[in-house]
Every structure is written in C-alpha cells, then in structure tokens.
Amino acid sequence: MLWLLVAAAVVAGLVFVKMKYFPSPSAEGKGSKGGPAGGRGAGGSGGAGPGGAQRLPVQVYVLRPTSLADEVAATGSVLAEEAVIIRSEIAGKITSLNIREGQPVRKGQLLLSINADEMQAELRKQEYNIRLYREQEKRQRTLLDKEYISAQEYEQAQNQLLTAQADLQALRASLAKAYVRAPFDGVLGLTTATVGTYVSPGTDITTLSKVKPVKISFSIPSRFANLVRVGDEVRITDEATNRQYEARVYALDPQIDPVSRTLTVRARYANAANELRPGAFVRVNLQLGETSQALQVPTEAVIPEASGYSVYTVRGGKMVPKKVKIGVRSEKLIQVTEGLAVGDSVIRTGILQVKPGDAVKVISN
C-alpha cells in the first residue's frame, strides 16, 4: 500500500507541474485572448506586401539613349613586316662571317660565305672547255660553208658548245649559293655560328627581321566582319608599357575561321622608333563608328544563357525576364541591340534571389 501511495503522489506532482508551467496551446489562447499572442496572429509577418507576399528590395537601371563609340576589343600579336631564317643552301665550312648580332643590314649585303674552292675550280675548267668548243664550232662552220663536212657533223660541234655553256651557268648558280646575302633591309638576330663551323643545307644560322613598320594581327567575332574596312583606325595598347599607338587596317582574311567563327585582321604601324617588338602581346580596339542612340545596361545585369542573353526587368511591381541581344561591351556597360526599349527598368542587384513573377520593391536607380 505504501508503494501505491508513493506512486500516486508522484503522478499527481507531475500533473501539477505540467498544468502550472506547460499549459496546452488551446488553453493559453483561451486564457489570453487579445494578448500578445493574439497580436501576432493578427499582424504576423512584418514587412509583408499585399496578400502577405514578401517584396524583395532591388536596385534598377533605367534605360536612356547614350552616345557610344562602336568599338571592338580584341587581343593581338606584333609581327615583323618581313622575317626570314638565314640558312645555307649548300654544305660546307664557313670561311667568312659578317653577322653583327642585333645590327641592321642592307639588302644584298654579304652575311657569310661557304668554302667553294672545288666549285671555283670546276668553273675555271668549264670556262677552258667552252673556249675549246667555241674554236671547234668555228672551224666546223667554215668547213660546212665549203661543204667539206655534213650538216650533222657541224650540229654535233654546236651542241657540244651549247651544252658546255649551260653547264657553266649551272656552276655559277651553285657558286652563288656559297655567298649568303641579306634578302631585304632588316635587323639581324642572334647566332651561334663562327668561322670554321660546318653547316648543312637547312641549318639555321641567324634571323633577319624588318621591324619598320610592324604588323598587328588580331581576330574579331564574325558578326563584325561586314563592318570592318581597309583603312579603319585601330588603337593599340602595349601590354608591357601600357602605351597606346595608332595603326590602320591594311588587310582582311577572305575567310572566317570555321572553328572559332572569327575573322583575322591585319593592321600596320610605322614603328619609327622601334616602340613595338615582333612577338609582343597587345590589346586592340577597332573603331567601327559612333551612335548617339545606343541602349546600354550594366554588365552585372546581363545573364548569359545557353541560348543567348537575358535581363530581368520590373513591370507592375513584378520581375519580368526579357531575352536580349548584345553588341559592344566595355568594362562596366554592355550595349543591348534587341529586346529592350527606352524607359525600361533593368534589375541590377538581387538577381540570384528573384524569380519570374516575384513582387519587388525598387529602392534606388
């Protein structure tokens, strides 16, 4: 009986504690009608809009016509006007070397000579043979005029002379290859060759580059292919010094690259003071004209998609997505060519939080 009384007392204590300190929600609602809890039930979600929907605060950009230089930005490389690797066409030992590394040379200037003693000896031998054949041909002609020999015998002597003369021309052409000359005005590169070095046909000896003027080679998207013209102005920025130079387009590739869908363009710069070196990396801005009615939006407002680009606009207090086509872009702004009109409000913040049809609150523009 004692254990039963103790158990009953414990249960009664638990019931008392539950009712005293942990009342049921229904009981609390009835007992505090119109109190703080009832206030929350009436007003509940502070900051909610009509119908209880939360309005996301966003910043917008209102489109207005602006002046815009139609410009294409690209990267390019500096190329020499002319460049060639100096090689020997024949095998032999270098007997003289007139290469001054890094120094300018004139067209036709002798750069090096290859040992040609054997060819010179063959040349003299052939010259002696030609003298002999010429005398023989002369005597045979005299005999033919007097009808002492047949025309066939004279033709044999004449053919022997003509063949020897052709062989002499071939020897002279081979001998000329032993003297390597500059094919155009330019600046010599570095070399490892010295007098006594044995070279084979095709051995690289040095380079020769014409660097006044230089070429600027770059590529632009194919959608601009019909806008660029020979003579268009190009602004070049040297990546190393950040200096700017003016060049002009002189040639366009007749074909668009089928892989990159770009058009290769070449411009020319005078480079009178050797400001640009072949092989340098440059930034290129190609001027294609100027418009005063361009529509531009901040770069952060444009959303790239698989099928193109889109922006989020505000209409009637709600977010409405719009497909757009873009044109010229800069560091902060992107031109919109289709999809928007003057006066449209484009969302520039909170883009990741908002969904189509969501209610938004414009806090600034």
Res 365: pLDDT: 62
Report the SS3 class of residue 43: helix
CATH of 56-65+295-364, one of 3.30.930.10, 2.60.40.1480, 2.40.420.20, 3.40.50.300: 2.40.420.20
Give the per-residue pLDDT at 72. Answer: 84
Residue 65 and residue 342 in contact, taking contact as beta carbons nearer than 8 Å = yes
Looking at residue 21, its pLDDT comes to: 52
What is the DSSP-derived secondary structure letter of residue 232?
-
CA distance 207 to 86: 5
Please, which pLDDT band fits residue 30 given cuts at 50, 70 and 90? very low
Q: Where are the domains of the chain?
A: 56-65+295-364, 72-81+209-288, 85-204
For residues 331 and 167, give the distance between their C-alpha atoms in angstroms, rounded to a whole number.
69
User: Cis link prior to 298 (omega < 30° from 0)?
Assistant: no
Continuous segment of H or E residues that includes residue 130:
helix 117-145
Element (H, E) at 245: strand 244-252
Question: Which 3-state string (H, E, C) describes 169-226?
Answer: HHHHHHHHCCEEECCCCEEECCCCCCCCCEECCCCEEEEEEEEEEEEEEEEEEHHHCC
CATH topology of domain 72-81+209-288: Elongation Factor Tu (Ef-tu); domain 3 (2.40.30)
Query: What is the value of pTM for the model shown?
Result: 0.61
pLDDT tens column, 191-215: 999 999 999 998 899 999 999 999 9
Q: What mean pLDDT comes out for the span 98-114?
A: 95
Q: Which CATH number fits domain 85-204: 3.40.50.300, 2.40.50.100, 3.20.20.70, 3.40.50.720?
A: 2.40.50.100
- Average pLDDT value for residue range 113-130: 92
Tokens 């605060």, located at residue = 57
pLDDT in tens, 264-286: 999 999 999 999 999 999 999 98
Q: Residue 197: which of 113, 283, 131 has the closest Cα? A: 113
Give the whole-angstrom CA distance, residue 74 versus residue 217.
10
- By CB atoms closer than 10 A (0-12, 13-18, 19+), residue 295 is buried
Contact 93, 176 (CB under 8 A): no
Do the domains 72-81+209-288 and 56-65+295-364 match in fold? no
pLDDT tens column, 51-60: 455 788 999 9
